[in-house]
């Protein structure tokens, strides 16, 4: 658990939790536990995604993957434990506010469950058996596999900032969806154009496996334009939100230019 969590990574999701929590000034509730919980789920999903029965990867965050460093059983259990630990963190940290704790647990459970993160992963596995997955299928996979965790990070931050269900939280969800798809498109572009040393994970796997990606469907330039379109919508949604959106604006725009 420590090996994979402490390997680093961009920490995008926890930063989104903190940034959303601070949109309306000093947050009502400390968002740091929520931020760590999201990163635990994200790290678990990477450990399991790298397993031989999934993507079978040797390198992650610049280090051997957990099953390479230890063994498959240890990697499986580390992932399971991080998944469970996320909910332990939330219930322990927010025990003094049952309404907030249950809202955070509910959001995270939905995002990480069979209808979002795991559902997206399952669809991804099914699509590999399909000769020509469609653009709609690809969008569905990444709305769930990638965007769900980005979306829930913003929503959990909003909840820590005392946002209630309604237009503000709905805007954060929409922002997360658009940013999530843009993030995945850039991920596909980097897989096709970057190198293993820079990314800290094996590149070129999608093309080698002839996997349907945004790059395969639209080409590098087309994918880039598509990422720009989603980013523009994300920024538009963000700019209509009340509060100090400057940091999130810069973060969302920067994700389009990321190199890893
Ligand atoms: C339940 C068996 C089982 C597996 C779960 C859901 C799942 C497997 C895997 C999905 C994980 C995955 C690869 C999602 C794609 C999203 C993505 C581009 C992840 C990489 O995120 P970054 O670039 O990573 O933010 P860092 O390392 O920077 O945190």
Whose CA is closest to atom 7 on ligand 1?
A: 45
Alpha-carbon distance of 38 to 32, in angstroms, equals 10
Structure tokens at 89: 């963190």
Across residues 240-252, what is the average pLDDT? 97
Give pLDDT, residue 58: 96
pLDDT surpasses 90 at 136:
yes
Distance 44 CA to ligand 1 centre (A): 8
User: Is residue 59 classed as helix, strand or coil in its secondary structure?
Assistant: strand
The closest-lying atom of ligand 1 relative to the alpha carbon of residue 61 is 27
Give pLDDT, residue 175: 98
Q: Which residues contact 248 (CB under 8 A, 6 or more apart)?
A: 16, 19, 20, 23, 175, 238
Letter string b/e over residues 7-33, b meaning 16 or more CB atoms within 10 A of that residue's CB? bebeebbbbbbbbbbbbbeebebebbb
Across residues 159-164, what is the average pLDDT? 96
Residues whose beta carbon lies within 6 Å of some atom of ligand 1: 9-10, 12, 42, 45-46, 48-49, 61, 117-118, 121, 145-146, 184, 187
Going from N- to C-terminal start, the domains of the chain cover 14-255
The answer to whether 180 touches 146, Cβ cutoff 8 Å, is yes
Q: Which of the listed residues 56, 122, 145 should we mutate to test ligand 1's pocket, taking the one with most ligand atoms within 8 A of CB?
A: 145
pLDDT surpasses 90 at 205:
no
* Domain 14-255 -> CATH class: mainly alpha
Q: Which of the listed residues 11, 13, 44, 49 should we mutate to test ligand 1's pocket, taking the one with most ligand atoms within 8 A of CB?
A: 49
Lowest mean pLDDT among 23-27, 38-42, 46-50, 203-207: 203-207
Q: Which residues contact 113 (CB under 8 A, 6 or more apart)?
A: 119
The closest-lying atom of ligand 1 relative to the alpha carbon of residue 39 is 29
CB atoms within 10 A of CB 233: 17
Give pLDDT, residue 206: 86
The closest-lying atom of ligand 1 relative to the alpha carbon of residue 260 is 23
pLDDT surpasses 90 at 76:
yes
Whose CA is closest to atom 19 on ligand 1?
A: 146
């Amino acid at each position: 658990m420590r090996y994979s969590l402490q390997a680093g990574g961009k920490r995008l999701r926890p930063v989104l939790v903190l940034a959303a929590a601070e949109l309306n000034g000093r947050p009502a509730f400390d968002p740091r536990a929520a931020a760590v919980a999201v990163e635990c789920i994200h790290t678990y999903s990477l450990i399991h995604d790298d397993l031989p029965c999934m993507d079978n990867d040797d390198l992650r965050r610049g280090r051997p993957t957990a099953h390479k460093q230890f063994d498959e059983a240890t990697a499986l259990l580390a992932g399971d434990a991080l998944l469970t630990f996320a909910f332990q963190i939330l219930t322990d940290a927010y025990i003094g506010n049952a309404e907030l704790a249950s809202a955070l647990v509910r959001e995270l459970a939905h995002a990480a469950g069979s209808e979002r993160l795991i559902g997206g992963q399952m669809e991804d596995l099914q699509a590999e058996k399909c000769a020509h997955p469609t653009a709609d299928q690809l969008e569905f996979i990444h709305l769930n596999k990638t965007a769900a965790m980005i979306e829930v990070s913003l929503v959990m931050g909003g909840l820590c900032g005392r946002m209630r269900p309604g237009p503000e939280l709905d805007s954060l969800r929409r922002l997360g969806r658009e940013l999530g798809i843009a993030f995945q498109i850039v991920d596909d572009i980097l897989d096709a154009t970057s190198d293993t040393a820079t990314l800290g994970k094996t590149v070129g796997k999608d093309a080698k496996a002839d996997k349907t990606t945004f790059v395969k469907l639209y080409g590098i330039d087309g994918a880039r334009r598509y990422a720009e379109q989603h980013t523009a919508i994300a920024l538009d949604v963000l700019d209509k939100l009340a509060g100090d959106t400057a940091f999130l604006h810069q973060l969302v725009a920067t994700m389009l230019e990321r190199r890893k």
